[in-house]
Amino acid sequence: CELPDNVDPKAATDVPAETIVANALRNSLNLIDNMSQNSNISRMMCQYIGMTQYTDPSRYVFDVRQIPDGYWNTSYLVLNDFKEIKALIQDLTGSESFNRMNANRMAIVDILEVLVYHNLVDLFGNVPYTEALGGFDGKTPAYDDQVAIYDDLQVRLTSAIATLNAGMDDGSWGAEDLVYQGDVAMWKKFAATLKARLGMRLADVNPSKAQSELTAAINAGMLEAGEAMQLPWTAVTPHTNTIYAQFVPTARNDYGPANTIIDMMVELDDARLPAFFTQTDTSTEVGVEKWAYVGIEYGATTVAYNSISHFSDAMFEPDFPATFACHAEVRFILAEAAARGFSVDGSAQEHYEAGLAESHAF
């Protein structure tokens, strides 16, 4: 291995930033969206889904599959990619328009870093931040206080929004941007929505900070009706929607909707039920059908897949998009803020019903 000619001729030695952007964007969003019990069990923690077998994760047994370790490692790998992108483009200069375009690209990478770090903090609390990504020479980084990290993430979002405002007409990544194809205005709206989300995370512990960040987000302009931050999958494995990925290529039936969400939606006669789930025949009489929505009893050890409701056909499409923020979330954030007595236009009921209408439309 120490010989001077020991070079892999097929290994890239000079990778352009554009290539890394597409890869890091895909990998970071896939991590957040993934529903595999080996990668990301957030949907189980919300009790949206359960497992028909191998049910340790849905019973809060995390160490068997080293789930926290895997999420942690992948997060810092994509953060290292974002760091490399910045290193490749930070010294590029040209015309005033080019410089604003490059600043937009830096701001978008910063927004994606904020998204990954905010998920890390929400899951783990204190994490390496200011000393993170030190490589071989920084193998024991300090763990920053989660409050300090959240404060800095908000500062970074404020800066990114200002940068994107200044370069609104100058473009950014273009086709390498798998989400918005370089649309600066949409990245600004997503950044503002993220700012509101992070602000409302503090509503119980620091209401004044939550209010100020929410006001800043409102003034910046969040995602509007029909708008979302989504990754549109290509439908070519491995770039497929997570439900398709866990069922079709593997020919497995390990997951299903949890009774927690199904029972609540049935009780409310929620019109979205057929868009989310199928019905199953619950009849015990031969020749008699009795169709109903049935979820996995959350935490059960084993469940027969044919005895429960399944995800809808639309959710099994390999190109079904992964959504990371949308106008419905904006409305629910504003509804919560109004219910808490924060200063926002409109009542809690108005925003809540508008959020429901947006969700129904989707």
Q: What is the pLDDT of residues 130-141, one digit of tens each?
A: 999 998 889 999
> Which residues 6+ apart lie within 8 Å of 354 measured at CB?
331
The HSE-up count of residue 276 (CA atoms within 13 Å, CB side) is 19
Q: Higher-confidence residue: 154 or 300?
A: 154
For the stretch 237-288, pLDDT in tens is 999 999 999 999 999 999 999 999 999 999 999 999 999 999 999 999 998 9
Q: Which residues contact 280 (CB under 8 A, 6 or more apart)?
A: 291, 292, 293, 294, 306, 307, 308, 309, 310
Identify the residue whose tokens are 């937009």: 104
Q: Are 50 and 44 in contact (CB under 8 A)?
A: yes
d(C-alpha 170, C-alpha 164), whole Å = 9
Q: What is the mean pLDDT of residues 106-134?
A: 97
**Could you tell me the sign of the dihedral formed by the alpha carbons of 309, 314, 318, 322, in that order?**
negative
**Amino acid (one-letter) located at 123:** L
**Which ranges of 34-134 would DSSP assign to H, the alpha helix?**
42-45, 67-89, 96-124
Average pLDDT (106-124) is 97
Instruction: Give me the pLDDT at residue 1, please.
Output: 63
pTM of the model: 0.94
Out of 179-183, 283-287, 311-315, 352-356, least confident range: 283-287
